[in-house]
Structure 1
Amino acid sequence: MQIDFIERKGYVLTRSTLKCLSLVASINPALGCIHQCVYCYARGYSIYPGDGKVLVYGNMPEKLKKELSTRRKLPAYVFFSSTCDVIQPIPQVLRITYELMNILLGYGIGINLLTKGRIPLKFLELFDQYKKLVHVQIGITTLDRDIQKKMEPFAATPQERLLNIKRLRATGIVSEVKLDPLIPGVTDTESNLNALFKVLQGLGVNSTGINYLFLRPKIKKNLCEALRDTPFLQRILGHYKNAISLNLRAEQSRVTALSVEYRKRAYENISRWAKDFGIHAYVCGCKNPDITEEPLCGENWGRHFEKSFEQKALLKEGV
């Protein structure tokens, strides 16, 4: 793995092009990710540095301090990150991420992060100091290590992610779980998800976002390369024979998605299974615009933060 430091030229706080993050302050400390998830849409971005390489914005903490000191209105919270997993096990990424989070929390700005990595103790200690300002989403779709390893070869194991949830709860932070992306015919089965929901119930999880895998040319290529010697590949591709073309970001991004009928039926089933374990499952509108217009990936966004959530004023300046 090649790690290089680069300079951030523009603003640190930006708006994501993803629908559900378009009104939220986002921050991207790095480009590239060691996890190498086969379904990762960021691996198809034009700014992606390529597999085996991570670029870290070394000057970002100082730029963030200056940026916050000159803003008339601060964002209620900041999302980490749409271009990489900020808890990936690379010391340079973890150091910059920690500094950025420490700065934001010191200003009273909430942080929202989604990770499939193992959260270091240092971060847990920081979160413990600002628990009312921290919202953590843990990405996990299966307890089956064999399946997970094929899909997310260098991400944390299912047991390590469950340990994240347990340790966060010990600090008073109830994690949200993201079943994203669900792989049709592989991780969306009743037996797979009920086993997961049972464990999550025991850990106090009460909310989960559900989304299915969508395909772009790069994602399909990565799937074929990573899974060609497994029984999963043809099973997955078979579900996309009746796929549709779907707009995620107006005319800028079209993807191949499972049919509306398949997703609606599956989401209803998954929501019912989750409810049996006291877990509320919701569908993300940014990846299912033909099913729901839920604007911010569900009702839990911003719930844990003390500041009011004023969407239109979040990034009025400097973006």
Structure 2
Amino acid sequence: MPAASGRRALLGAMAAWPWAARAQDSRPVRDAAGRLATLPQRVTRVVAAGLPAALPIWSLAPDLLAGWARAPRGPELAFLPPEAAALPETGRLTGGGSDTASVEAVVASHADMILDYGSVTPSYAAQMDRIQSQTRVPALLLDGTLSKIPDTFQLLGELLGRQAAAKPLIETSARLLDEARAAAALLAQRGRPRVFYARGPQGLETGVAGSINTEILEFCGAENVAAAQAGVGNLAQVSAEQVVVWDPDWIITPEAALAATMPKHPIWSTLRAVREGRIAVAPVLPFGWVDSPPSVNRLLGLAWLPILFGVRPRDELPARIGALSDMLYHRRPDDAQLGALLRTASP
């Protein structure tokens, strides 16, 4: 057999091997950290490395989500369709604290892709390299910055083959970001509201400068009074005495029980924001409007904060939250649910 004919025969045989067929059906992609991974042409199952990554997948392609890093429970489920409760809890591959998902479980899920969403620093990129190496599943990292949400939906639509479904999410998130920028410009002219974000049962955990947990407050034009507080990472513990010194114009908290006690509390009640009734409870159902987690759920916060700070009409909020909930979570809250969410969110 001539050499050329032999090579052709060998190449033809190799093309018939299963691994060669898979290679022909794959595509190289780069994530937000510049990492290269190889995905199949058609992605049918995605493991979310954490809850922040699960939410954009749920919004865009809920049928492809392998499970929740932390499954919704209790009152959260009332704001989600029944399909959300049917998904298993897969655990967390990345994020704060110890990881709760096993490599074996990821492999057993037969996922085509692992997705993480958040910081794109070298340490997080290295985490994804490690996970990809351990599981042999392509692992991608997307930028969780608030202003990058339209880019996230666009890239995810391309990765998952859901470009048509991504289009309204891209357009809506871009419009909300533009409106928030316009609100911030107006507040810069009027005087930026000074805000303390009170996390935790005592309200003394808050976001420091550059924190993803308070990013949305500054994006919408507020001044985070704790921005200059020394701290490691996104969050820091502060003292009640320090909050008294700051004496913010607004207190925003995801802790409804804490907010209810503030007017009679010996320290909180001395703050001007409390005396003048400027305590806003950031809704957390089914996910937080400010953080918890810091993901695409913050689009509801973008719709809310300009109204809270008085630069958009208050009467438009229920309809906007209803439409956004329908788009992001595939369930529109009923009037009673909306009323409960907004009652303490708009004092």
User: TM-score scaled to structure 1, two decimals?
Assistant: 0.29
Structure scoring higher RCO (CA < 8 A, sep ≥ 6) equals: 1
Q: Which has the higher helix share?
A: 2
Q: Which has the higher strand share?
A: 1
